[in-house]
Amino acid sequence: MKKDNPKAYIPALKYHWLTRFYDPLVASGLQEKKMKMHLINQASIRSSELILDLACGTGTLAFLLQQTHSGIQVTGIDADPQILAIAKEKMKEKRAKGIVFKEGFSDQLPFSAYQFHHVFTSLFVHHLTLEKKKETFEEVRRVLKPGGQFHILDFEKPQNGWMRAAFLPVQFLDGFETTSTHVKGIIPALLKETGFAAIEETRQFSTILGTLRAYKAYKP
């Protein structure tokens, strides 16, 4: 990622040519469905609500949201047009209707304020520098309705030495600048700093790539 380019981003597996392997890798290595269903189940979603899947990647979470809740409107946004093309193709194969995919950056969301009831994001925050993490959380706060919920799943403080070692391959791939804050645990403090309330860690997962933690917070 070139630091001086505000439109730079880290693709799902750092190199575009690896993107095609993303789904099989995450599905088998990270207990993907179990973790994403946990994130969905921690949300109190009502029909007709508007949901944003931030940095949606290949659209798996958006698809699970739409499958489990009838009547909701799901928008997936991602900076990478290549992964969005995979997401759209996947939805066509699954005959999933009603999910809108949009290209855009997390720190400049192309949505008006107070638009969404819930914002979900999984396996994404560790792709951002500290400055971009803050700008992104501020953007999420802007687009959420008052009382809206922010649901996050990401690599965070390892539970033990094994989990710390397991996270190293992710750091080598995605970069130490964006991931090192996650080793100490950064998400709850960032949520607090950017004005979220009732911040709660809802679950921890041990995976072959380290500890993942799920969080829930509200826009006051």
**Interface residue with ligand SAM, options 63, 116, 124, 167 (CB under 6 A):** 124
CA distance 15 to 37: 28
Minimum CB distance to ligand SAM smaller for 3 or for 161: 3
Only one of the segments 56-64, 143-151, 157-165, 188-196 lies at the binding site for ligand SAM (rule: CB under 6 A); that segment is: 56-64
Which residues does 211 contact at the CB level (< 8 Å), separation at least 6?
155, 156, 157, 158, 159, 163, 167, 204, 205
Give the neighbor-by-neighbor strand order of the sheet with 197-207: 99-103, 73-78, 50-54, 116-122, 144-155, 210-218, 197-207
Looking at residue 153, its amino acid is L
> Which positions from 20 to 49 touch ligand SAM by CB under 6 A, shown as an x/- string?
------x-----------------------
CA distance 77 to 153: 16
Only one of the segments 43-51, 54-62, 155-163, 191-199 lies at the binding site for ligand SAM (rule: CB under 6 A); that segment is: 54-62
10 binds ligand SAM (CB under 6 A): yes
209 binds ligand SAM (CB under 6 A): no
Minimum CB distance to ligand SAM smaller for 54 or for 72: 54
Minimum CB distance to ligand SAM smaller for 72 or for 106: 106
CA distance 156 to 179: 9
Cβ contact 67:94 at 8 Å: no
HSE, CB side, 13 Å, CA atoms: give it for residue 190: 27
Only one of the segments 6-14, 90-98, 195-203, 205-213 lies at the binding site for ligand SAM (rule: CB under 6 A); that segment is: 6-14
158 binds ligand SAM (CB under 6 A): no
CA distance 174 to 170: 6
CA distance 139 to 48: 23
| Angle 216-122-141 from CA coordinates, rounded to 5° | 50
144 binds ligand SAM (CB under 6 A): no
Minimum CB distance to ligand SAM smaller for 61 or for 186: 61
Minimum CB distance to ligand SAM smaller for 28 or for 48: 28
What's the closest the beta carbon of residue 196 comes to ligand SAM, in angstroms? 19
Contacting positions for ligand SAM (CB under 6 A): 9-12, 26, 55-57, 60-61, 78-80, 83, 105-106, 122-124, 127
